[in-house]
């Protein structure tokens, strides 16, 4: 049924069509209306939570108006759209972002003050939308912001997890995981009970010949689960474009109850189907860069890919274009291998449901997909067991076998002399059981494959995808260095710095074109500018110090050097190197005379990050950090010379407080292991310097800011394999300073040494895979340089200002333009002028 209103009645609609608040009074009226009616509260019982809800609902209404306009414009113009398939979107809070992106924060702030609330307190009421683990999910969130800001017609697709990443509590120095009830109040989502898709699992495939002699495959007798769409508006900055993030929630297809069972008294069984269906979108897997091959995870992936593709195909079919036009209308980006099932799923739709021939369908598939690789870590490369696949997705397994057979045939013809190659590149690994290699399927089914920083993009071509470069040629592989949105990571997190920059650049245009930052280099010697810049950094450090005192009860001196490492806890990211370095520093200070101690540069070492619940080694590192903190922070000899803080439950909203407060941040992964890193960019953009290895985006940051403005150390990626080999086959020489650190740990001053023995032994006895010992001396020496450099505050300030001015390259807007041009071939669609829609 056409739901559209007939022409004669449209005038009435237009007359009463919703309009946006424009003034402070109109804003206040909206807030009060929502608090009194939507929330059924009054001025007698309006707390900060209600004030947040009222404000969020007022802004939500504003976003919805632009969102509807954008979607109508897209429907009418029917441009090529980008679909970003990502199992993770680490969005953080939405209210502050919405206020800033629509340019109404000042008005809202005054309005809230009239109504009796401070905007900071109101904003702090919101729970983070934490549908992601770390860098990969946050990158996806930055990309959504850029896509909307640059007016690209784009959709994000993900799952609506009932529980996002767990909340981390530290109890007696150990990480404890607590569920994240983020959906208790979420004004930013719109359930679309009319947008549902039936998703099939299990069952069997029946094959037969139709009248024309064509073989037909029917996937039947499966279990059906319902996917229900929940939409969230994504406003661009300084534009009316508001895109859509569509999250799928799972629901039993037969309804909530099995009444037959209920009526016969089997109450538990009557809701079992519902519970089992809802499990699919219940939890985000909390592993960052680690795959465990669990059935539920594969189910999640298929559920999400199938629902999203159904939606995309449905939208395409509305345009009534021929199938060969599909890649001209649709670009789908696979964020890591998690959505790779979309490849066989689109092939299935085209051949089984739409009746296309294999070759025609496959050519459409390959032109449609692009694949971004985010890691070379072997433990993160997804593989699924063939028996599991066969059981859950029997038709897809057949299609994958066919894709593989045709591909191997091609390889055999082109590389007849390299017979081993077939085994190396096959999508099916001949192991026990056989495994489906998802990364290979993603490469074969996409027209472009990209890495996320130059070094990483080079590495994938020489390691994991080496053979594929021979097969397809180098042009299929490209690089798009990651970026971050300056709206959240400068304007929102560091409003005073943003304002200072705007005052010199004559406005906020730099937030839309970050390369304009280069103009502030002209102020590097300007006395007032320097003073303001330094004051802002100090104020941000005071803010973090206050937070540390309030939340953790630890007093830190804001004049000390703030050294920060916040990211997921992982052996390759080497928080263990950092804490061993802290112990070394502690021992050095302890051994000094009181006179010498006066010369020590005071420091606070901040750590933060979650460990995957099953990642025992990462949890041990958290425990060691906490134990070292206990000892160091309470040692009278040390006082303010060294403090160690583990910031609990690191997330996006906390990052907004932490990042602007750094003097130095640590990006110290073993060379060749961190694909890019994005917090390195955030810290430098906020006036902090980096200590880092020659890894990921650190290398390009060095190229941009200059070698004098970054502290690099450690072995190079090309030497890593040889060193690892040498650890096993020649004598392993433990660094003497590190050896002293280990003796101290073994002495038990940080608590039962047995708890840390596996951590220590991974280095001393088990080959030091992450090269902690190899890098230890150069790490310590570099920190000494940092202490010296920091004492010269004027030179330090020059370095930080210069670095900020050279960060223009790292905007996610630049990335999105690169993807649009090199991979998606899409154009922006500028929104029509107001009232001209
Ligand atoms: O580990 C990478 C990280 O270096 C990168 O910045 C981020 C975004 O590209 O992706 C991470 N990869 C994963 O989380 C898993 O592949």
744's tokens: 């101290």
Check for a shared fold between 81-93+128-481 and 560-794: yes
Report how far Cα 525 is from the mean position of its chain's Cα atoms: 37
d(CA 653, CA 581): 28
> Which residue minimizes the CA distance to atom 14 of ligand 1?
136
Q: Which atom of ligand 1 is nearest to the CA of 133?
A: 14
pLDDT of residue 2: 55
Query: Could you tell me where the beta strands, DSSP code E, fall in 471-536?
Result: 477-479
pLDDT of residue 272: 86
92's tokens: 């953080």
H-run or E-run covering 95: helix 95-101
pLDDT of residue 729: 87
d(CA 144, CA 127): 19
**Ligand 1 mutation target, pool 89, 134, 683, most atoms within 8 A of CB:** 134
Three-state secondary structure string covering 625-667: HHHHHHHHHCCCCCHHHEEEEEECCCCHHHHHHHHHHCCEEEE
Helix locations, 17-47, DSSP H = 24-33
Ligand 1: centre distance to CA 37 (Å): 44
In the chain, what are the domain boundaries? 22-77+98-127, 81-93+128-481, 560-794
> Which residue minimizes the CA distance to atom 6 of ligand 1?
677
d(CA 802, CA 811): 17
Helices (H) and strands (E) in the chain, counts: 35, 24
Q: Which atom of ligand 1 is nearest to the CA of 674?
A: 4
Nearest-CA neighbor of 117 among 39, 64, 56, 184?
Answer: 56
Q: Which CATH superfamily is domain 81-93+128-481 in?
A: Glycogen Phosphorylase B; (3.40.50.2000)
- Strand 89-92 relative to strand 129-131: parallel, antiparallel, unpaired? antiparallel
**Ligand 1 mutation target, pool 333, 452, 460, 480, most atoms within 8 A of CB:** 452
**Ligand 1 mutation target, pool 375, 381, 568, 667, most atoms within 8 A of CB:** 375
Where does ligand 1 bind, in terms of residues with CB under 6 Å?
Answer: 134-136, 139, 288-289, 336, 374-375, 380, 452, 482, 674-678, 696
Q: Which atom of ligand 1 is nearest to the CA of 482?
A: 9
> Which residue minimizes the CA distance to atom 12 of ligand 1?
374
Ligand 1: centre distance to CA 374 (Å): 5
> Which residue minimizes the CA distance to atom 8 of ligand 1?
136
Q: Are 103 and 238 in contact (CB under 8 A)?
A: yes
On the 0-12 / 13-18 / 19+ scale of CB atoms within 10 A, 401 is middle
Is 560-794 CATH 3.40.50.2000? yes
Q: Which atom of ligand 1 is nearest to the CA of 375?
A: 16
Ligand 1: centre distance to CA 696 (Å): 10
**Ligand 1 mutation target, pool 89, 165, 289, most atoms within 8 A of CB:** 289
Helical packing angle, 358-368 and 394-414, nearest 10°? 90
390's tokens: 């066969």
Residue with tokens 């650890």: 727
Q: Which atom of ligand 1 is nearest to the CA of 669?
A: 4
Max CA separation in the chain (angstroms): 96
d(CA 374, CA 278): 29
Ligand 1: centre distance to CA 136 (Å): 5
pLDDT of residue 835: 52
Query: How many Å is the Cα radius of gyration of the chain?
Result: 28
pLDDT of residue 836: 39
> Does the complex come out with an ipTM higher than 0.95?
yes
3-class SS of residue 725: helix
d(CA 360, CA 95): 46
What is the DSSP secondary structure assignment for residue 710, as one 8-state letter? S
List the end-to-end C-alpha distance of the chain, in Å, as a whole number.
25
Ligand 1: centre distance to CA 453 (Å): 10
In DSSP terms, which residues pair with 564 in a beta bridge? 606, 665
Ligand 1: centre distance to CA 302 (Å): 22
| Residues annotated catalytic, as ranges | 374, 567-568, 573, 678, 682
Q: Which atom of ligand 1 is nearest to the CA of 288?
A: 14
- Enumerate residue ranges in the chain where pLDDT < 50: 1, 836-837
pLDDT of residue 292: 80
């Amino acid at each position: 049924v056409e739901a559209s209103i007939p022409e004669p009645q449209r005038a009435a609609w237009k007359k009463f069509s919703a309009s946006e608040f424009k003034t402070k009074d109109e804003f206040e009226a909206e807030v009060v209306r929502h608090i009194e009616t939507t929330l059924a509260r009054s001025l007698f019982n309006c707390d900060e939570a209600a004030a947040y809800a009222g404000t969020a609902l007022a802004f939500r209404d504003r976003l919805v108006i632009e969102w509807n306009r954008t979607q109508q414009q897209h429907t009418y113009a029917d441009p090529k759209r980008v679909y970003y398939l990502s199992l993770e979107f680490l969005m953080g809070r939405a209210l502050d972002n919405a206020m800033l992106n629509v340019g109404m924060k000042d008005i809202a702030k005054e309005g809230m003050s009239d109504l009796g609330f401070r905007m900071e307190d109101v904003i702090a009421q919101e729970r983070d939308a934490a549908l992601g683990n770390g860098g990969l999910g946050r990158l996806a969130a930055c990309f959504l912001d850029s896509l909307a800001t640059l007016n690209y017609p784009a959709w994000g697709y993900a799952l609506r997890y009932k529980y996002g990443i767990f909340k981390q509590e530290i109890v007696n120095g150990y990480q404890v995981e607590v569920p994240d009830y983020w959906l208790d109040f979420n004004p930013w989502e719109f359930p679309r009970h009319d947008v549902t898709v039936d998703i099939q699992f299990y069952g069997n495939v029946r094959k037969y010949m139709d009248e024309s002699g064509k073989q037909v495959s029917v996937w039947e007798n499966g279990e059906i689960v319902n996917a229900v769409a929940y939409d969230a508006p994504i406003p661009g900055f300084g534009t009316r474009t508001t895109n859509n993030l569509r999250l799928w929630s799972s629901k039993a297809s037969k309804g909530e109850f099995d009444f037959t069972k209920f009526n016969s008294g089997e109450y538990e069984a009557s809701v079992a189907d519902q519970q089992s269906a809802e499990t699919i979108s219940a939890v985000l897997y909390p592993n960052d860069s680690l795959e465990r091959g669990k059935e539920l995870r594969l189910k999640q992936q298929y559920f999400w890919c199938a629902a999203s593709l159904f939606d995309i195909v449905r939208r395409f079919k509305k345009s009534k274009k021929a199938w060969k036009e599909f890649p001209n209308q649709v670009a789908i980006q696979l964020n890591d291998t998690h959505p790779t099932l979309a490849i066989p799923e689109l092939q299935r739709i085209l051949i089984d449901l739409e009746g296309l021939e294999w070759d025609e369908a496959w050519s459409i598939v390959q032109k449609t997909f692009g694949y971004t690789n985010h890691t070379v870590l072997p433990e993160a490369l997804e593989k699924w067991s063939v028996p599991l696949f066969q059981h859950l997705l029997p038709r897809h397994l057949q299609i994958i076998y066919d894709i593989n057979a045709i591909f191997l045939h091609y390889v055999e013809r082109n590389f007849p002399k390299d017979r081993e190659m077939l085994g190396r590149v096959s999508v099916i690994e001949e192991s026990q059981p056989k495994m489906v290699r998802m990364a290979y399927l993603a490469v074969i089914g996409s027209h472009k494959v990209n890495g996320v920083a130059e070094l990483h993009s080079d590495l994938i071509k020489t390691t994991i995808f080496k053979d594929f470069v021979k097969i397809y040629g180098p042009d299929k592989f490209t690089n798009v260095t990651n970026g971050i949105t300056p709206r959240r990571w400068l304007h929102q997190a560091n409003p005073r710095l943003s304002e200072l920059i705007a005052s010199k650049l004559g406005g906020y245009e730099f937030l839309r074109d970050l390369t304009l930052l280069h103009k502030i280099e002209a102020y590097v010697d300007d006395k007032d500018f320097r003073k303001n810049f330094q004051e802002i950094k100090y104020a941000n450090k005071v803010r973090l110090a206050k937070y540390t005192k309030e939340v953790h009860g630890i007093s830190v001196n804001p004049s000390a050097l703030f050294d920060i490492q916040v990211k997921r806890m992982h052996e390759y990211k080497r928080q263990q190197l950092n804490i061993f370095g802290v112990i070394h520093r502690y021992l050095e200070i302890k051994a000094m005379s009181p006179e010498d101690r006066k010369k020590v540069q005071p420091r606070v070492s901040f750590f933060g990050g979650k460990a995957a619940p099953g990642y025992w080694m990462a949890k041990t590192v958290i425990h060691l950090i906490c134990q070292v903190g206990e000892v160091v922070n309470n040692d009278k000899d040390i006082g303010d010379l060294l403090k160690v803080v583990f910031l609990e439950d690191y997330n996006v909203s906390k990052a907004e407080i932490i990042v602007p407060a750094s003097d130095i941040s640590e990006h110290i992964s073993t060379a060749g292991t961190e694909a890019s890193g994005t917090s390195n960019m955030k810290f430098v953009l906020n006036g902090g310097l980096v200590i880092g290895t020659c890894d990921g985006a650190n290398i390009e940051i060095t190229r941009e800011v200059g070698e004098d403005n970054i502290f690099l150390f450690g072995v190079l990626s090309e030497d890593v394999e040889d060193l690892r080999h040498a650890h096993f086959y020649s004598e392993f020489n433990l660094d003497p300073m590190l050896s002293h650190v280990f003796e101290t740990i073994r002495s038990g001053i940080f608590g039962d040494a047995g708890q840390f023995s596996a951590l220590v032994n991974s280095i001393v006895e088990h080959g030091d895979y992450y090269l902690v010992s190899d890098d230890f001396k150069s790490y310590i020496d570099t920190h000494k340089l940092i202490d010296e450099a920091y004492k010269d505050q004027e030179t330090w300030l020059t370095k930080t200002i210069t670095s900020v001015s050279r960060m223009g390259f790292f905007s996610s807007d630049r990335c999105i333009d690169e993807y649009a041009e090199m991979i998606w071939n899409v154009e922006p669609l500028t929104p029509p002028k107001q009232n001209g829609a």
